[in-house]
Amino acid sequence: MYPPAPPAPHRDFISVTLNFGQTYDGSKSRRRRSCWRKWKQLSRLQRNVIVLMLAFLGLGGLLSYISVADQWKVPNIRSAEEQKMRPANPPVLPAPQKAEANPENAPGALPQVTRRHFRRGPPNLQIRAPNRDSEDRRLDDARRQEAMADATQQEEPPQRTLVSWRGAVIELEQGTDIPLRKAEASTRTQNQPGPPNERQKAVVDAFRHAWAGYRKFAWGHDELKPVSRSFSEWFGLGLTLIDSLDTMWILGLKKEFGEARRWVSKKLRFEKDVDVNLFESTIRILGGLLSAYHLSGDTLFLQRAEDFGNRLMPAFQTPSKIPYSDVNIGTGVAHPPRWTSDSTVAEVTSIQLEFRELSRLTGVSKFQEAAEEVTRRVHALSGKKDGLVPMFINTHSGLFTHLGVFTLGARADSYYEYLLKQWIQGGKKDTQLRDDYLEAVEGIRKHLLRKSEPSKLTFLGELTHGRFSAKMDHLVCFLPGTLALGAHHGLPADHMELAQALMDTCYQMNRQMETGLSPEIVHFNLHPQKAQKDVQVKPADRHNLLRPETVESLFYLYRLTGDRKYQDWGWALLQSFNTYTRVPSGGYSSISNVQDRHNPQPRDKMESFFLGETLKYLYLLFSDDTDLLSLDTYVFNTEAHPLPIWAPA
């Protein structure tokens, strides 16, 4: 055997070899060989994973490029198409008159307290953020810059055919067929409206106070929370702003209207992943945009309306043609509520005025066809009771559900309203709509009409499987105005008598409360009892949401009878709103207890319909000019947005 080799000697130095024959110049060939060597060292699985990832990233980049390129192309193409489809002479009303410079002097106005406002948070949050005056100044500066830019662009006024403030009738040929896109509107010019009277100035002051709160604390968001000086979101589409556009025009608030118009132009976008309720978004957003277009003649509003209408159309894609209650305007996915496959009858039958008008303006028939198909199917259904309809309808079968329950309150109310108003909108040519409405009025008289004790107030209750309930929603107070409107358009005169009797009852629903404001629901006393009022209120029902139905019917009754007591009743309601719901820092708040004048308990929410309906109807109620939005020229949708009657009545 050989002995083991001795260990290598330990050396305390580093050996470095220098190659002077070649120098490293950073050439790519050496790096390529190094990368290739690393690549070959990877396992087959690792190499396959890397190749798949690179392919996926490449495909994603290509699709993104195509999407961005299409977005740049579509606006230019769409703009050219829209110019072709617009009416040559859209109906235009003159610009609003300048409102009272100092609204503080108006009667009924309360002093405002100037307070710092809280910075708005991101959408979908209902928060109060810290005070930041610098944020206020920044927002104001930005809006002033926008105003200056718009003023520069508008130095050359567009050529428009000016029609009277009181509007124009849009004439169609015989029948209610959709006209050609280039059909021109015939117009009739009338005198300009006179200056607002003292009561109208008080309404303008109330609107400005409400708008100031919205502008300061909730600008661009859906609804103001006036007590906490913040906002809440429902759809994230500036609901209060759009709902208020035509009110500002009618009240003569030119500056506020212009600022809101700029927001619609620059900020209102419907490309968002959000569910909207078909009914609520149709009557508030689509109706508000269409009305703003008719009053101002500004095609911006019609463009936005058509875009929004297209995004609502997937709701009609059901087996029964009865639309789903909700639709995502970004993805186009429609669905019923999470808890049921039913839609409410009022919701699916109270979108027709808006969709029909959108088709008339754009020449695109699908809007009108989808909405009128719903009307035809509901007309043919069984399950009615002398013209009265149940509250729910199934979107799969197309049949009524929850049979035997009949009401003119929530979930059924505007079905009856839109039967009459569609008939009027179409020039009173569709006799089926008229006949369904007349049958329903007789069913109301037969099954729901009663008188209370001790004052014999005429009211409408509810019928549940043959059992009568003396329950009446404040929502039912739309009916006096609807009945009066029908009588004005040639329906039986006794409809006006019933309208006046119900109007007295609706006013008493307000007057018998300590705050002078109606609760959401009341129960009437049917039997004589000592020390009992006609109107009873349960604790869960004594809230007031600033609803418009009473003042809506007061407007119709005064406009059609000339009886000034209706104006006085409306004035009393405005005083109650100012006393118990006005928030000093801006805005008005719904309240929880109409029976406690010392602590009405603000609920910290100003519904968009307070500006869109309640204040609008009060302003029109106090006007003595019967041609201001004449009822022979316009029909109001259920959110108080005026749309033109298609043919002379």
Active-site annotation, residues: 280, 413, 520, 549
Question: Please, are residues 106 and 198 in contact by the beta-carbon 8 Å criterion?
Answer: yes
> Which runs of E-coded beta strand occur in 193-269?
223-225, 230-232
The DSSP 8-state label assigned to residue 333 in this structure reads: -
Q: Which long-range contacts (CB under 8 A, 24 or more apart) does 376-379 make?
A: 377/320, 377/321, 377/322, 378/345, 378/348, 378/349, 378/415, 379/432, 379/436
List the Cα angle 459/462/465 in 5-degree steps. 150
Total residue length of the chain: 649
Report how far residue 393's alpha carbon sits from residue 411's, in angstroms, rounded to the nearest whole number.
11
List the Cα angle 537/539/545 in 5-degree steps. 80
Amino acid of residue 219: W
Kindly write down the DSSP assignment for every residue of 444-498, as one continuous string: HHHHTEEE-TTT--EEE-EEETTEEE-EEEGGGGGHHHHHHHHHHTTS-THHHHH
Question: Please, are residues 354 and 414 in contact by the beta-carbon 8 Å criterion?
Answer: no
Give SS3 for 521.
strand
Count how many Cα atoms sit within 13 Å of the Cα of residue 293 in the half-sphere of its side chain.
25
φ and ψ of 211, to 5 deg: -70, -35
Beta carbons within 8 Å of 374's beta carbon, 6+ residues apart = 316, 321, 322, 323, 348, 349, 351, 352
DSSP bridge pairs for 521 = 473
Count how many Cα atoms sit within 13 Å of the Cα of residue 606 in the half-sphere of its side chain.
41
User: Any idea which residue has 């070649």 for tokens?
Assistant: 22
Beta carbons within 8 Å of 445's beta carbon, 6+ residues apart = 498
